[in-house]
Amino acid sequence: MKPLNMTDLKNEMRELIINGEDPYSVALFGITTHYLLEAQNKIDFSFFELLDDVTMNFLTPEDYDGDAGPFLELLAFYYLLAQNVAGFSQSTNWMPMLTDEQRQTILKWPKNYVLSLFELSIKDETVWHKDMKTGKEYQLAYTPEDLELPMNPRNVRLITILVPTEQGYLSSIPFFVPLDDFTFAKIKRSQGQREYELAILKECYKYRDDQYDEEDWNVEDFTFEDIRFHSAARKAEETDEAFAKRLLEQNPFFQNFPLYNQAENLMIKVIQTFPQLFFKNSDADALLEGIKMLFTMQTFTKSDMSLMSDELCFFWYLLIKEHLPEEVKALTPYNGPEGFSNDTLF
């Protein structure tokens, strides 16, 4: 079961290290999970851009609790290492039970990580990963027994991220992807390291998605009810308060929300101010995301504004700020789930 909040996560990290688990493995899990928990409550546009680039916007941080959780962990770890070193440092400094030496080793991971397609082998009862792009071999800090591997694996190819420790290289969640030589040859022609890494991640997602589709989904079972859409239409004789409550119930973010009364009062005011925008074919999800953005007190650069300009949730965000400025100003900022605050970040 994944931790529900930062307090649960920190307690779990402490318990694992106290019980003798490898601190680096615990840190890799903790750093990634710390970021994904935070990303469910604070919009990180750069991470959403990566999700869009790799998965065509099919995944969001909210999918972490589902079947896509392992792939989201891989993407989040890569994002922190390659594109958000400040966030990686914050999550590392948040980690409990690490020595200064261990923390310094981890803080160097953004400069030393390797994301690639690897070929797995075992030599002298030691696990090795050979980078299929460069030919370089990396000794892992595991034994075959640790990973429950056969002694003579053949043609085992996998996509993962390697980071160094004193005992050898540590691997993030591996994805066993049987990339053929022709497909990999095309990937190797990518211009630049970042382009190569993105091509690897896209191929990993494509394979995972194809496997998921084949095993768990049949096109004949599809109905339009499978598409997530919550109508913002008002029911006959429904009061403003009842309508506001029903709308808020449709988004898990507002379930057990500590500032629920403020959210409900704001929703009532929105309903009263823009009655013409609540009709059968209008999408309540976009409105709810817009209100969520108001509570998390997001700030936007010109680049963010351009990126979000065609998003319905951003339309609602701007509309409410423009026409209900006093109500927005009165909102209490929401800084994340229970147990998390900027004070506990370090």
Residue 338 in this model has a pLDDT that exceeds 70: no
Q: How far apart (Å, rounded) are the C-alpha atoms in residues 279 and 54?
A: 34
Lowest-confidence range among 18-32, 157-171, 229-243, 263-277? Answer: 229-243
- Asked if residue 12 belongs to a domain, the reply is yes
Residue 340 in this model has a pLDDT that exceeds 50: no
Check residue 137 and give its pLDDT.
96
Check residue 226 and give its pLDDT.
38
pLDDT tens digits, 235-244: 888 899 999 9
Find tokens 């779990």 and name the residue: 12
CA 118 vs CA 171, 196, 283: distances in Å = 11, 14, 44
On whether the CB atoms of residues 17 and 165 are closer than 8 A, the answer is no
Same domain membership, residue 78 and residue 131:
no
Same domain membership, residue 125 and residue 102:
no
Q: How far apart (Å, rounded) are the C-alpha atoms in residues 301 and 28?
A: 31
202: Cβ contacts below 8 Å, ≥ 6 apart: 53, 54
Label residue 70 exposed, middle or buried (CB < 10 Å: 0-12, 13-18, 19+). Answer: middle
- Asked if residue 232 belongs to a domain, the reply is no
Which DSSP string do the residues of 15-76 spell out, in sequence order?
A: HHHHTT--HHHHHHHHHHHHHHHHHTTS--HHHHHHHHHHHTT---GGGGGSTTHHHHHHHH
pLDDT tens digits, 144-171: 777 666 556 666 889 999 999 999 999 9
Q: How far apart (Å, rounded) are the C-alpha atoms in residues 143 and 146?
A: 5
- Asked if residue 250 belongs to a domain, the reply is yes
The arithmetic mean of pLDDT across residues 47-53, rounded, is: 92
Same domain membership, residue 102 and residue 186:
no
Residue 220 in this model has a pLDDT that exceeds 80: no
Same domain membership, residue 276 and residue 255:
yes
Q: How far apart (Å, rounded) are the C-alpha atoms in residues 267 and 254?
A: 12
Same domain membership, residue 47 and residue 24:
yes
Residue 341 in this model has a pLDDT that exceeds 50: no
Same domain membership, residue 10 and residue 97:
yes
Q: Which residue has the higher pLDDT, 284 or 82?
A: 82
Check residue 218 and give its pLDDT.
42
Check residue 269 and give its pLDDT.
96
C-alpha angle with apex 108: 198 to 52, nearest 5 degrees?
A: 25
Q: Which residue has the higher pLDDT, 181 or 267?
A: 267
65: Cβ contacts below 8 Å, ≥ 6 apart: 2
Type and span of the H or E element at 205: helix 193-216
Type and span of the H or E element at 161: strand 157-165
Tell me what the pLDDT averaged over the chain comes to.
84
Closest CA to 59 of 199, 202, 224: 202
Q: How far apart (Å, rounded) are the C-alpha atoms in residues 344 and 15?
A: 18
The pLDDT > 70 percentage for the chain reads: 83
Check residue 181 and give its pLDDT.
73
Residue that terminates a domain, selected from 64, 85, 109:
109
Find tokens 């690490």 and name the residue: 98
Q: Which residue has the higher pLDDT, 222 or 50?
A: 50
- Asked if residue 63 belongs to a domain, the reply is yes
Q: How far apart (Å, rounded) are the C-alpha atoms in residues 63 and 332?
A: 27
Task: State the total domains in the chain.
Answer: 3
> HSE on the CB side for 120, CA within 13 Å?
25
Task: List the domain range (segments joined by +) for residue 142.
Answer: 112-207
Check residue 225 and give its pLDDT.
39
Check residue 25 and give its pLDDT.
95
Check residue 314 and give its pLDDT.
83
Same domain membership, residue 123 and residue 91:
no
Check residue 108 and give its pLDDT.
98
